[in-house]
């Protein structure tokens, strides 16, 4: 710990951001210095909203000098989520390959009694009304889940079928592993066609009659550290009401998105893969949901502490809704690249009405700002009460990563290229 350098952001990710190299920073702090303060009980911890207020009255330099940690929060539907479960062996043991949990198929092509239940999986009997997210929520709430598993049988696993009931406590391991969460910004959705669209961004009414958005904006974790200078692999976070960790870069992680002058990407950019113990989570912060005629998803509550290591980070944690812009996308075009109808900031989105092509359009949020705020306060409390310290990332997240699309080619084209 003693060898940790003052300019820890630079050692973390040398070419990450031009910002870190700007000027010499006399007020720089390190993770271990902040943790010492947390343990002593004299760390200054503010939520992202609180620090914005402070910057308005006292300025960024004072924030850099006085504030140690800024807590963030988000609570939105995140489809790319799920949980690994281990059931333990039955007698005779079964190499479970087909696994149903309350009639919802889980992925069983792992070792004998492991399975992965994905949030969007839907029930074979109830369809979209009940899915993987509901299984996870029922587990958290201590409900009995029906397990039906089958296999063709092997010499070492002679059993071919098992049917039983279990609760979360009965499982050996149950951990949430979400391949893509915590999107750094997301575009605003609208619909210029004459038909209603049912999407993961909610119900989009015809003729630009509404626009939906899905980000906690100024409270959202990755928007407060836009170049991911303090968040990396191993970062300890709030996940679903419990402690979780950043496991890896999230899928579809993208560093190529255009950024505003303040460094904020104007659409979906970085993402995180997150992991945490399901046994400690609460359905207050992990909640199954159904997007009408689209499918099952799950509201995931996430909070990430941002250490105010230097003045640059002090500046980014203070970026507010009015400075965070996102693209307005027309979902009526059924192809991968959809037309951009304009740009809008979160202050405008939250006001309830925006203007698209000269028309006043009512807005609706898909993610809960109230819950995001709640999470930022809980995380603050944990830190103030010394229950939670910060972790210096074990490794940084990628500085360069392109989000490629899938090419559709024929067997012949493979031969030509190869």
Q: Assess whether 318 carries a catalytic annotation.
A: no
Residue 363 binds another protein (CB under 8 A): yes
Strand partners of residue 276: 176, 244
Residue 77 binds another protein (CB under 8 A): yes
Q: Which stretch binds another protein (CB under 8 A): 60-68, 71-79, 138-146, 237-245?
A: 71-79
Q: Which two tokens stand for residue 148?
A: 């039906």
Cα–Cα distance, 302 to 72 (Å, whole number): 8
| Residue closer to another protein, measured from CB, 100 or 379 | 379
Q: How far is the CB of 286 from another protein (least distance, A)?
A: 11
| Residue closer to another protein, measured from CB, 253 or 285 | 285
8 A C-beta contact, residue 103 and residue 126: yes
Q: How far is the CB of 254 from another protein (least distance, A)?
A: 25
Cα–Cα distance, 137 to 90 (Å, whole number): 25
Q: What is the three-state SS of 117-170?
A: EECCCEECCCEEEEEHHHHHHHHHCCCCEEEEEECCCCCCCCECEEEEEECHHH
Indicate which single residue of 34, 174, 291, 314 sits in contact with another protein (rule: CB under 8 A): 291
Q: How far is the CB of 331 from another protein (least distance, A)?
A: 13
8 A C-beta contact, residue 314 and residue 19: no
Indicate which single residue of 87, 369, 382, 388 sits in contact with another protein (rule: CB under 8 A): 369
DSSP state of 388: -
Q: Which stretch binds another protein (CB under 8 A): 19-27, 64-72, 73-81, 375-383?
A: 73-81
Residues 340-359 binding another protein (CB under 8 A) are: 350-352
Residue 290 binds another protein (CB under 8 A): yes
Residue 299 binds another protein (CB under 8 A): yes
Residue 134 binds another protein (CB under 8 A): no
Say if strands 236-239 and 242-249 run parallel, antiparallel, or are unpaired.
antiparallel
Cα–Cα distance, 306 to 237 (Å, whole number): 10
- CA-closest candidate to residue 178, choices 214, 215, 132, 113: 132
Active site residues: 156
Binding site residues, another protein, CB under 8 A: 75-77, 202-203, 205, 209-212, 287-292, 297, 299, 350-352, 362-371, 373
């Amino acid at each position: 710990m003693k060898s940790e350098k003052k300019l820890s952001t630079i050692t973390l990710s040398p070419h990450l951001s031009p910002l870190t190299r700007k000027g010499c920073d006399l007020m720089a702090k390190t993770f271990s210095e902040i943790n010492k303060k947390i343990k002593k009980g004299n760390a200054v911890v503010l939520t992202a909203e609180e620090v914005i207020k402070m910057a308005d009255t006292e300025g960024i330099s004072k924030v850099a000098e006085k504030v140690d940690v800024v807590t963030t929060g988000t609570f939105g539907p995140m489809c790319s989520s799920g949980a690994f479960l281990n059931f333990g062996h039955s007698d005779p043991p079964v190499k479970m390959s087909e696994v149903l949990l309350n009639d919802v198929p889980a992925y069983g092509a792992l070792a004998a009694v492991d399975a992965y239940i994905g949030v969007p999986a839907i029930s074979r009997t109830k369809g979209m009304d009940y899915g993987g997210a509901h299984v996870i929520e029922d587990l958290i709430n201590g409900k009995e889940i029906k397990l039906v598993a089958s296999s063709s049988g092997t010499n070492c696993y002679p059993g071919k079928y098992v049917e039983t009931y279990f609760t979360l406590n009965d499982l050996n391991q149950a951990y949430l592993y979400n391949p893509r969460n915590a999107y750094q910004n997301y575009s605003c959705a609208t619909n210029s066609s004459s038909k209603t669209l049912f999407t993961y961004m909610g119900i989009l009414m015809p003729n630009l009659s509404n626009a939906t958005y899905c980000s906690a904006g100024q409270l959202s974790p990755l928007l407060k550290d836009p170049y991911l200078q303090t968040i990396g692999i191993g970062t300890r976070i709030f996940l679903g009401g419990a402690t979780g960790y950043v496991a890896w870069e999230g899928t579809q992680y993208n560093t190529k998105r255009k950024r505003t002058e303040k460094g904020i990407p104007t659409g979906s950019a970085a993402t995180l893969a997150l992991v945490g113990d399901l046994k400690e989570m609460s359905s207050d912060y992990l909640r199954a949901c159904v997007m009408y005629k689209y499918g099952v998803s799950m509201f995931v509550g996430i909070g990430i502490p941002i250490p105010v290591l230097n003045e640059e980070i002090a500046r980014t944690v203070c970026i507010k809704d009015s400075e965070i812009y996102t693209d307005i996308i027309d979902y009526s075009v059924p192809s991968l690249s959809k037309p951009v109808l304009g740009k809008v900031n979160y202050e405008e989105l939250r006001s309830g009405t925006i203007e698209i092509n000269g028309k006043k359009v009512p807005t609706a949020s898909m993610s809960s700002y109230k819950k995001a705020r709640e999470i930022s306060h809980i995380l603050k409390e944990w830190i103030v009460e010394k229950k939670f310290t910060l972790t210096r990332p074990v490794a940084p997240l990628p500085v360069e990563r392109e989000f490629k699309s899938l090419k559709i080619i024929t067997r012949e084209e493979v031969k030509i290229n190869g």
